[in-house]
């Protein structure tokens, strides 16, 4: 079983590469949640995520023969970058297998750190199967993304920093993918602060941990579907499950809407960019996925910031919808002069800003003497969006809300 001594030894190995990332109290999110909320800004870590901690610890413990043969791993992106950088610094050849649909930014970054990248499989689990095939064929050492005590110990160094910087903490909230991060952090926290609580968070579309903990053995889900690609695994690990069963107090889930809202709020309120997996801990706090007291000192781990720019726009849009800051509607108009101007004047009176307009007179779903108008509007909040719909309906228009 992973021990506090293992994690302290890991800190000595990784300290020359992994940064001691900031832990800052957020006044905005404390006011929103009622908790005394602190953010562990691991998105500022080298490679943009905590994974360099575990990867570096594993690479540093390779034998001379293992270094000579090289390493192989599978990853959705963040572990890939961690292994690539750690191996490059140690002069070890690294091959990384990533899913075919891994974010382009993560693939490019992994290659930029010096690893050979192969794209195989539709998700992490299929990529991992291919990586194990390379392990056998090329006699490489497999560097597991999470189910390895040495990797877990490296990730646990994040927990040591949290205790150093916030010894008065009551609760730590940590994302769960395969369980490597929360295993290391939970041991680091609980062995030093036994009364502290450790809460794990999974995305609703990749929630295997609670089922596995309840069953007392691994439970694999059939597929994953979430914007939090960094924690999109079908199952936690066997060894991480054992640690979580002993040290983790509670596991909760958040859905993609809650993740998108947390990510967008972090951008607006904290000027901090995270990926989906990096937002789940805050999402759990803001959505009250678990119970906490007013004024309770809560630390939310923002575990990564490597979001693909193509996905960022989509996620922000979803977050704005949740905040009531974006409204997309369709209206059926009479196909006659002045109707578009009439709708525009109603929208203008409400104070909304038009983001985009699509006017279609040829759709099969529209009557011959009608036209379909689709509007994308920037709004102040949910109440403002409702006022716009009410104003249009008061003028006799039938409004369909798309988002």
Q: Which pLDDT does position 235 carry in this prediction?
A: 94
- How many CB atoms are closer than 10 A to CB 315? 23
Helix, strand, coil share of the chain (percent; to 5): 50, 20, 35
pLDDT tens-digit readout, 119-158 = 999 888 899 999 999 999 999 999 999 999 999 999 999 9
Written as six digits, the tokens of 218 are: 């691994």
Q: What is the pLDDT of residue 321?
A: 86
pLDDT at 88: 96
Q: What is the three-class DSSP state of 353?
A: strand
**Residue numbers in the chain where pLDDT is lower than 50:** none
Rounded to 5 degrees, what angle do the CA atoms 276, 281, 286 make? 105
Predicted pLDDT of residue 146:
95
User: Which residue, 33, 50, 34, is CA-closest to 282?
Assistant: 33
pLDDT (0 to 100) of residue 364:
60
Question: How far apart (Å, rounded) are the C-alpha atoms in residues 114 and 161?
Answer: 29
Q: Strands 171-175 and 197-203: what pairing?
A: parallel
pLDDT at 388: 93
Q: What is the pLDDT of residue 363?
A: 66
pLDDT at 303: 96
What is residue 334's predicted lDDT score, i.e. its pLDDT?
A: 83
**What does the pLDDT look like over 52-65, one tens digit per residue?**
999 999 999 999 99
Report in angstroms the alpha-carbon separations of 90 from 68, 362, 364: 11, 63, 63
C-alpha span between 159 and 386 (Å, rounded): 44
CB atoms under 10 Å from CB of 373, counted, come to 21
């Amino acid at each position: 079983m992973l021990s506090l001594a293992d994690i302290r030894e890991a800190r000595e190995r990784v300290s020359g590469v992994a940064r001691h990332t900031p832990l800052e109290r957020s006044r905005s999110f404390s006011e929103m949640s009622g908790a005394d909320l602190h953010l562990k800004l691991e998105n500022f870590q080298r490679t943009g995520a905590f994974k360099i901690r575990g990867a570096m610890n594993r690479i540093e413990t390779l034998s001379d023969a293992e270094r000579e043969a090289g390493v192989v791993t599978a990853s959705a992106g963040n572990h890939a970058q961690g292994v690539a950088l750690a191996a490059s610094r140690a002069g070890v050849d690294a091959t990384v297998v990533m899913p075919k649909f891994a974010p382009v930014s993560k693939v490019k970054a992994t290659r930029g750190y010096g690893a050979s990248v192969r794209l195989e499989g539709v998700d992490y689990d299929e990529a991992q199967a291919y990586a194990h095939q390379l392990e056998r064929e090329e006699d490489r050492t497999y560097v597991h993304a999470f189910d390895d005590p040495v990797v877990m110990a490296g990730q646990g160094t994040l927990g040591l920093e949290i205790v150093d910087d916030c010894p008065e903490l009551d609760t730590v909230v940590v994302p769960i993918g395969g369980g490597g991060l929360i295993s290391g952090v939970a041991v680091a926290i609980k062995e030093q602060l036994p009364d502290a609580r450790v809460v794990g968070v999974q995305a609703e579309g990749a929630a295997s941990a609670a089922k596995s903990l309840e069953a007392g053995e691994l439970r694999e889900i059939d597929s994953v579907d979430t914007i939090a690609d960094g924690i999109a695994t079908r199952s936690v690990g066997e060894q991480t499950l054992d640690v979580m069963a002993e040290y983790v107090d509670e596991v909760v889930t958040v859905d993609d809407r809650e993740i998108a809202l947390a990510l967008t709020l972090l951008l607006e309120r904290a000027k901090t960019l995270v990926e989906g997996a990096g937002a789940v801990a805050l999402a759990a706090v803001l959505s009250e996925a678990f119970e906490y007291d007013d004024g309770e000192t809560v630390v939310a781990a923002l575990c990564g910031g490597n979001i693909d720019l193509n996905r960022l726009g989509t996620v922000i849009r979803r977050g704005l919808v949740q905040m009531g800051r974006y409204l997309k509607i369709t209206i059926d108009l009479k196909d006659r002069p002045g109707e578009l101007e009439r709708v525009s004047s109603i929208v203008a009176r409400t104070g909304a800003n038009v983001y985009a307009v699509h006017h279609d007179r040829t759709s099969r779903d529209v009557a011959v003497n009608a036209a379909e108008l689709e509007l994308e509007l920037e709004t102040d909040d949910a109440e403002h969006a409702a006022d716009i719909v009410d104003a249009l309906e008061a003028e006799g228009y039938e409004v369909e809300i798309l988002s």
